[in-house]
Each structure stands twice: as structure tokens, then as C-alpha cells.
Structure 1
């Protein structure tokens, strides 16, 4: 018995049944929904948000020009939505086949956020193995991609022709998959490289380093062109005679194509150059200007070439060196392994950049404005072979530095 005032020493135990597995993580902080419902609802919300973004530019133009029929605004909104998903659009009587990659990336990000939120709603048992977790991720991706694609199947024939509907539906499938796959993987804390060898698991990081270096160099080249041709850009904008709302629309349009412009600059710094119609080409050491669209950003296109253009080729070399160095870092390869692993990292980084650049090609009209964008097939080999060679040098440099440092440490210990 316990005397009055004596502290209690009673212990309360709660035993769970053997068949009741504890969840791996607590319930989500957001309002709980069954994960299939969350994947469906939030993906449809993402599709609706992209439609609203597509309608923003025509609505702003309609506000600026009161005589524009409301039906034309609805039609333009649908055409921008089609262009976002890779279908050629008809805007103001002009065929536009150049994808606004800025809006496309927003669509992929929205699908990724929807898939990650659905993953947050999923509570797996503690004994769930990797296979069960991957099946769960596949279920989220399947519902998200199906919801977005079905929305495109319904909307595309309504806002466009049958010729536009097919590429738009295919593009919607790719865009939703591009966002949903990483969203589900991140939401369920999965590691796609868990079973891969340690050296191969470093490939995504090396790819990111190489592609990131290319992106940084491309942005720098684009900024230099914009600043050095600021007067031409301002003159072209003034010649359009637009008011405040019109200027805002122009800025929004150019921001929608900002990733496209970066990929164009990347093709320039890699040496392949950019085609500006059948008769136009801008590349290091070669500038031929044909007909350009009346868009202010095209005022940044150089009219002459100079020896300083060749200095931009260093961007690709640095990107390959960076990818190779990151690939070999924190591993213990032999001399041959350091070379080919570094070359692999540089090659993959360049190939991914070239693949992304392929989606930055298209038309802004017919004839003189057809076939704009990075020059292929030159970009395929100029983005892979030089970066692979530089990647091999980067891997060997890291290995050589590591061996030199180890030899110096041994000499210090011996002394």
C-alpha cells in the first residue's frame, strides 16, 4: 500500500495488437483526404490553374483594347493553353509553334506539387518494404497523370482542331509525368539510386552540377546581350507604341519564353548557334540576320561577330570539368575509372541540355520566321563530345589532386 503523500510508482502500459502496425509518419498537417482523392482533386486544380495563367495574357490585352471581342479572348486563351503543351497555336492569324516553356514548367511544377501532396496523405505501415512504397508511388503517378491527360483529352478538341488536339494531349501526358514522378518520389522519401553502386549514385549530382553550370553560363551570356543592346531593345519597344498595360503584356510574354531564351543562349555558348529562320544564324564567328519578329527581346540579337564570342565556349568546358569532378569526388576510382566516369557525367549533362533545347525550337510564323531555335544536329555533338572530354579531364584532375595530397601527407608523417 502507498502512504498518503508518497509519490505514485504505478506504471501504465499500452500493448498494441501484433497485427496493428504503427504508421511510419504522423498524419499530414493539411486537411486529410484519401490519397486517390487528393491526387485527383489537386491535379485537376493544377490543370485549372494553368488555364487561368493561359487566360491572363489575353484578358490583359482585352482590357488594353476595349474593342477586342470577348470571344476572341476565349479563343486566344485556349490557343495559349495548347501552345503550353506543345501544340502549334493560331494567334492573331499567325501560326506559333514555339512552346512557352515558362508556362510549361509551371504546369509541371503544379503537377509535382499535387503528387507530393497526395503522397503526404498516404500513411504506410511500418513494415512496408521498398516494393510496397514504389507501388504506392506508381499509384499516385498513375492517378495524377491520368487526371491531367483526361482533362486535356476533353479540353483540346473544344479549344482547337483535331490536328492541335493530338500533340496537346501527348504534351499534357509528358508534362504531368515530368512533374508527378519526382513529386511522388519526394513525397514518399524514396531513393531511386538506393540499389545502384556508390559511383553511379553520384550521377544525378554530377548531372545537376554540369547542367547547372551550363545554365549559369547561358544566363550570363543572355544578360550580357540584353545589357549591351539595351538601346536597340528600348527603340524596338517604343516603335510598337504600346501603353502601360501593353508593356506589361509584352513583359509577361517575354517572361513566358525566358527558359526558351536561356536554352538559345546555351546553344550559342556551346558553339552550335541559333537559327533565326531559313536565312538567319547567330553563332560564334558567324552572324547572318534575316527577318526578326517585332518583339523587344529580339533587339538583343547581335548584328556582328567578334573574337570575344569564342570566349563563351569556355562555359561548356567548365561545365564538363565540373560534372566530371563531382562524379569522381568522394569515390576511390582507378585512373581508368576516373577518366570514363568523368566522361560519362559530362556526356549525360550535355545530352540532357541538348534534349531540353530540342523543345526550344519552333516557328513564330511562316517562311522567314519558320525554324527558330538551337541549331541541330550541330548541338547534339557539340554538347556531348566536348563535355565528355572535359568531364574525363575533371575526373582525372580530382584523382591527381587527391593522390598528390596523400603523397604530401605521407611525406610530412615520414619527416
Structure 2
């Protein structure tokens, strides 16, 4: 049955809901893994990984799949020399742009499962899908861990459920039309049974939440525009790093795809720069509107666009969060309902 008011009935594939949810998750996991494997194989085909075997490529692809789902990898390296000691570190850097791949696949699966479920049975499809996706993550972590790259299997099972589960719930809500209908609650009846003060408080809380969302979106939009302007100004330095790396057409394309995957992260870094707090690129470094102090950076072209040295007018950037707050306040005054007169008429019997 569709999660809509018509309740006409559309069970989709003739199978149990938990099994259909598992098949949807398996399909999403396979597609997202395939999108990770393709660029790695393309780089390998152009001798980008030297003489690495197919088993190495498969583990690398699995590790990349875990990284785009936010799973931390524990790296162990051994230095050179007679007194070399193993050094351990954690790789935990979520490429928000690439994380959209499992999110959108889950959004599609959530809509399909919502069309095939009753409102009080959707949990069966969601539970089946999440168990299968968690199992896929655990299996990937178990197969792809090596002596140099460790994976905690519980994290490999739980972390992928964050973008996947969020996308599935939002997709199901999109098909249902409302959150209350998604969970089988009659929102109109619930609101009618609450007091007038509760309805007013709920209206104010909703308006405040929307205003905060507007402030965040406005600040991110301005920081994204600033990031685009910075990349345009320093395009010659970015191109120079590309030429110095000399990764070839396929390697350059893979490097570009990886940087595009981190583009939302860069927008967040730009927002941190605009807020005055700045961000760090390594221990002891700082990049902020009042100056930049960093050590040697890896040969990643986008890093060439980081403003260098002291900035005489960098403090002007601090006005951006203020403008976002002003916009949020305007939205709140426009969206929020003023019930002070009604409250007086209820409390004061004249």
C-alpha cells in the first residue's frame, strides 16, 4: 500500500518486505562499489599503480568504498633505516561529494520501498535493507583489511548506515508526503488534541529551526562563492601543480574527480575561514583570515589556491556570519507568527 492518502495498494515485487529491502540495499551497494572500481581500474590500466595485482586493486577499491561512507582506516607504516619503527595513524576524511552517491541510491530505494509498504509495515523493509547494507560493510572491511590498513569491523558495519539510512528515510518521506504519514500518525488529529499554547510553541520552534537552516545555507552559499572566486584567481597556480604532478590524462581525471568529491568539504573549510576560526592542514598549521601558516603540503592542485601570508583586509570576511544572522532574523520575523494579541485576549477577560 502506498504511503499516501489514497491507500490504493501497490505492493511492488511479490516478496516479503524485508527481502525486498535487502535486495534494494544489495543493488545500491553494488552500484556504489562499481562507481568506485571504475576510476581505479582506469588508472591501473594506464600503469598508474605500477605492477599491482588485481587483489591489491580490489582491496584498494573496498577501502575507498569504506572511506566515502565515513569509515576510519587505521594505517601502519614503517620508516626507513636501521632504527625504523612502525608508526600508526587514522585516516578519517569524509568526501561529502562522493558520499552523495550512496545517499542518492538510498533515496531512490526508500521511495520504492515506501510505495510497496503499508504505513505500519515500512519498518520491516527498512530493517531488512539496513541489515543487508551493514553486512556488506562488515564483509568489505573483513576482506579489504591488510597488515598496513586496519578496519574495525563494527565501524565498517555501522558508519555506512549513516548516509544510507538517512537517504532511505528522506526518500520514504518524499514518497509519503509528510513525516506523520510516514510513521502512521494522524498529524491533524494530534494537533487538534493539543492545547493552543502547545500549538503556538510548536509554531515558534518550527520557525526558529527554519531560520537557523536559512542562516546555515546562506553562510555556505557565500563561502562557496568565495571558494569559486579564490580558485578563479589562483587558477594559474592550480594548473602549475597539475603540470608538476604529470599524472597523465586518466590520472589527472581521477585526481580531478577526487577533488570534486571533496568540494563540499572545501566549502565548509571556506566557511570556517570566513568565521575567523580558520582551519588546520597538519599539526601546528593554521589558515585563517588574518594570516596563513602551513608547512609543506602534498601535491594536490586545489591546495595551491590557499591564500598565503598575512592578509591586510582579511578581517572583512568576519561580516559574512553577521549577514547570515541578519538574513535568519528577517526570515524569522517573516515566518514566525505573532500570537501576543491572542494570548492577551485569552488571559485578560475584559
Q: TM-score, normalized by length of structure 1?
A: 0.66
For 1:92 and 1:54, locate their aligned partners in 2 and report how far apart those are by CA, in whole Å: 23
SS at match of 2:259: helix
Partner of 1:255: 260
CA-based RMSD: 2.9
For 2:241 and 2:123, locate their aligned partners in 1 and report how far apart those are by CA, in whole Å: 50
For 1:141 and 1:205, locate their aligned partners in 2 and report how far apart those are by CA, in whole Å: 28
Could you tell me whether the CA contact under 8 Å between 2:36 and 2:64 is conserved in 1?
Answer: yes
- Matching of residue 319 in structure 1 with residue 324 in structure 2: yes
Q: Which structure 2 residues correspond to residues 376-391 of structure 1 after superposition, within 5 A?
A: none
Query: For residues 260 and 23 of structure 1, do their structure 2 counterparts lie closer, same or farther at Cα, with a shift above 3 Å needed?
Result: closer
Could you tell me whether the CA contact under 8 Å between 2:138 and 2:153 is conserved in 1?
Answer: yes
Count of paired positions: 304
Could you tell me whether the CA contact under 8 Å between 1:137 and 1:185 is conserved in 2?
Answer: no
Could you tell me whether the CA contact under 8 Å between 1:108 and 1:178 is conserved in 2?
Answer: yes
For 1:207 and 1:140, locate their aligned partners in 2 and report how far apart those are by CA, in whole Å: 33
For 2:293 and 2:162, locate their aligned partners in 1 and report how far apart those are by CA, in whole Å: 35
Could you tell me whether the CA contact under 8 Å between 2:291 and 2:308 is conserved in 1?
Answer: no
Partner of 1:114: 109
Measured against aligned partners, the alpha-carbon deviations of 1:85-143 in whole angstroms (never above 9, x if no partner) come to 22334899796432222222221221122111110123x4xxxxxxxx3x444444323
Q: Which structure 2 residues correspond to residues 1-400 of structure 1 after superposition, within 5 A?
A: 24-26=6-8, 35-65=17-47, 67-69=50-52, 70-89=54-73, 96-122=91-117, 124=118, 133=119, 135-160=120-145, 163-191=151-179, 194=187, 195=191, 197-333=202-338
Measured against aligned partners, the alpha-carbon deviations of 1:295-327 in whole angstroms (never above 9, x if no partner) come to 111111111232332222222122222223323
The unaligned stretches of length 5 or more in structure 1 are 1-21, 125-132, 336-415
Could you tell me whether the CA contact under 8 Å between 2:75 and 2:90 is conserved in 1?
Answer: yes
Query: For residues 206 and 147 of structure 1, do their structure 2 counterparts lie closer, same or farther at Cα, with a shift above 3 Å needed?
Result: farther
The unaligned stretches of length 5 or more in structure 2 are 78-88, 182-186, 192-198, 341-350
Could you tell me whether the CA contact under 8 Å between 1:144 and 1:176 is conserved in 2?
Answer: no
Could you tell me whether the CA contact under 8 Å between 1:115 and 1:140 is conserved in 2?
Answer: no
Partner of 2:195: none
Could you tell me whether the CA contact under 8 Å between 2:19 and 2:125 is conserved in 1?
Answer: no
- 321-330 or 252-261: bigger deviation: 321-330
